[in-house]
C-alpha cells in the first residue's frame, strides 16, 4: 500500500484537532474529578481519557494499518493492545491534553498534541491550543501557524537571536526529577542571561513558542515521547535546534530522551546546556 503524503496527514490532523477543540475548551471550565498517576503532581482527568479515545478512533479509522501510542492508553492498533510498531510502520504519538494540571485548575496553557512517525522520521504533526484557536503544524515541507482570521504563517526562527532578546520556557528544576541544589544555582545563572524565564506547564506549547518566535529557548527533564514529538517536528522544520538526553547521554530518536533543550540559536543553546549541567 502506498504511503500517504505528509501534507495529507497534516491536513487530516488540522481537521481533527479543530473538531476536538471546542468541546475540550468547554470542559476546561468545569472542575471535574482528578486521579493521581505517579504522584499528586501527575494527574489525569476523564477528559484526557475520553479525548484520547476519540483521537485513537479517528486515526485508526483513517489509517487502519498504523500503531497508536497515547499517554493514557499505551500502544494499540485496530485489533487492540500491541507491542509497538515495526521499523517501517506508521505510528502516532499522542497527548490528548498536554498541560493537564493547568487544564484541571482552569488555567488556559494546555493543548492537544499529535505526531505521526514513519521509518524513524517525524512526518506530520499538529499542536492545537483551543483557547486561542491557534494550531502549529508541520509536514515534510515546513512548519506553519494557523490563527483565526489570519493567513497561514510559514515558521522560520531567527538563528542569530541571543538570550537577552527573548523568553526561555522551562520546567527545570522540578520536584518530579531529583536534583541537588546546584540546579537552582544554574537556573538562576540562566535567568540572568535570558530576558525572562517562564514556567508554563505545557512542554508542547513551549516548543511551539520557540518555533514561532514567541520564545527563544526551552529546556526541561522528565518528558515522554507524547509530550515532545509534535513540538520537536514543528520547531525543527522551523529551523530551531533540538537535543535530547538520557542521564546526560545524547538520545535517538530524540523524542525518547527525557531531558531536552530546544533553542533558536547556538547562543541560546549554550546557555541552556549550562543550565542543565551538560
State the average pLDDT over residues 82-91: 94
Q: How many CB atoms lie within 10 A of CB 255?
A: 24
Residue 40 confidence (pLDDT): 44
pLDDT in tens, 219-254: 999 999 999 999 999 999 999 999 999 999 999 999
Task: Give the least confident one: 16-25, 140-149, 173-182.
Answer: 173-182
Is 118 a residue whose pLDDT tops 50?
Answer: yes
State percent of the chain over pLDDT 90: 81
Q: Which residue has the higher pLDDT, 31 or 6?
A: 6
Is position 227 annotated in a ligand binding site? yes
Q: What pLDDT is stored for residue 173 in this prediction?
A: 79
Q: What is the CA radius of gyration of the chain?
A: 18
Residues 6+ apart with CB under 8 A from 202: 98, 99, 102, 109, 110, 111
Is 71 annotated in a binding site? The answer is yes
Q: How confident is the model at residue 31 (pLDDT cuts 50, 70, 90)?
A: low
Say yes or no to pLDDT of 263 above 80.
yes
Report whether pLDDT(93) > 90. yes
Q: What is the pTM of this model?
A: 0.93
Residue at grid coordinates 526551552: 218
- Residue 48 counted as an annotated binding residue: no
181 is in an annotated binding site: no
For position 224, what pLDDT does the model report?
Answer: 96
Tell me: pLDDT of 174 over 50: yes
Domains of the chain: 6-154 (3.30.540.10), 163-275 (3.40.190.80)
Q: Which of 101-115, 134-148, 163-177 has the highest mean pLDDT?
A: 134-148
Sign of the four-CA dihedral 139, 142, 143, 144: negative
Q: What average pLDDT does the segment 129-148 reach?
A: 98
Q: Which of 6-15, 57-66, 104-113 has the lowest mean pLDDT?
A: 104-113
Confidence at residue 177, expressed as pLDDT on a 0 to 100 scale: 55
252 is in an annotated binding site: no
Terminal-to-terminal C-alpha distance of the chain: 44
Band (pLDDT 50/70/90 cuts) for residue 108 is confident
Looking at residue 179, its pLDDT comes to 58
Task: Give the mean pLDDT of the chain.
Answer: 92
Give me the helix-helix angle, 266-275 and 182-193, nearest 10°. 160
- Integer Cα distance of 142 and 152 in angstroms: 12
For 210-258, give the DSSP string.
Answer: HHHTS-SEEEESS--HHHHHHHHHHHHHTT-EEEEEETTEE-SSGGG-S
Amino acid at each position: 500500500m502506498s504511503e500517504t503524503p505528509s501534507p495529507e496527514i497534516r491536513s487530516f490532523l488540522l481537521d481533527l484537532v479543530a473538531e476536538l477543540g471546542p468541546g475540550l475548551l468547554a470542559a476546561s471550565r468545569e472542575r471535574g474529578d482528578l486521579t493521581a498517576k505517579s504522584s499528586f503532581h501527575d494527574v489525569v482527568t476523564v477528559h484526557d481519557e475520553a479525548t484520547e479515545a476519540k483521537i485513537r478512533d479517528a486515526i485508526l479509522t483513517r489509517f487502519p494499518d498504523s500503531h497508536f501510542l497515547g499517554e493514557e492508553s499505551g500502544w494499540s492498533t485496530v485489533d487492540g493492545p500491541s507491542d509497538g510498531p515495526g521499523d517501517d510502520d506508521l505510528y502516532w504519538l499522542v497527548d490528548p491534553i498536554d498541560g493537564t494540571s493547568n487544564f484541571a485548575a482552569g488555567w488556559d496553557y494546555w493543548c492537544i498534541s499529535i505526531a505521526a512517525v514513519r521509518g524513524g522520521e517525524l512526518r506530520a504533526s499538529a499542536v492545537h491550543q483551543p483557547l486561542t484557536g491557534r494550531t502549529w503544524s508541520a509536514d515534510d515541507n515546513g512548519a506553519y501557524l494557523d490563527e483565526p482570521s489570519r493567513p497561514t504563517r510559514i515558521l522560520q526562527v531567527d538563528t542569530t537571536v541571543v538570550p537577552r532578546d527573548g523568553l526561555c520556557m522551562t520546567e527545570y528544576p522540578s520536584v518530579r526529577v531529583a536534583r541537588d541544589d546546584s540546579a537552582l544555582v544554574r537556573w538562576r545563572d540562566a535567568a540572568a542571561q535570558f530576558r525572562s524565564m517562564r514556567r508554563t506547564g505545557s512542554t508542547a506549547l513551549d516548543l511551539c513558542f520557540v518555533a514561532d518566535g514567541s520564545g527563544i529557548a526551552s529546556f526541561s527533564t522528565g518528558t515522554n515521547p507524547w509530550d515532545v514529538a509534535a513540538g520537536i517536528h514543528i520547531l525543527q522544520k522551523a529551523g530551531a535546534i533540538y537535543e535530547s538526553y538520557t542521564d546526560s547521554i545524547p538520545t535517538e530518536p530524540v523524542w525518547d530522551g527525557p531531558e531536552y533543550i530546544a533553542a533558536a540559536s547556538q547562543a541560546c543553546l549554550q546557555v541552556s546546556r549550562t543550565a542543565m549541567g551538560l
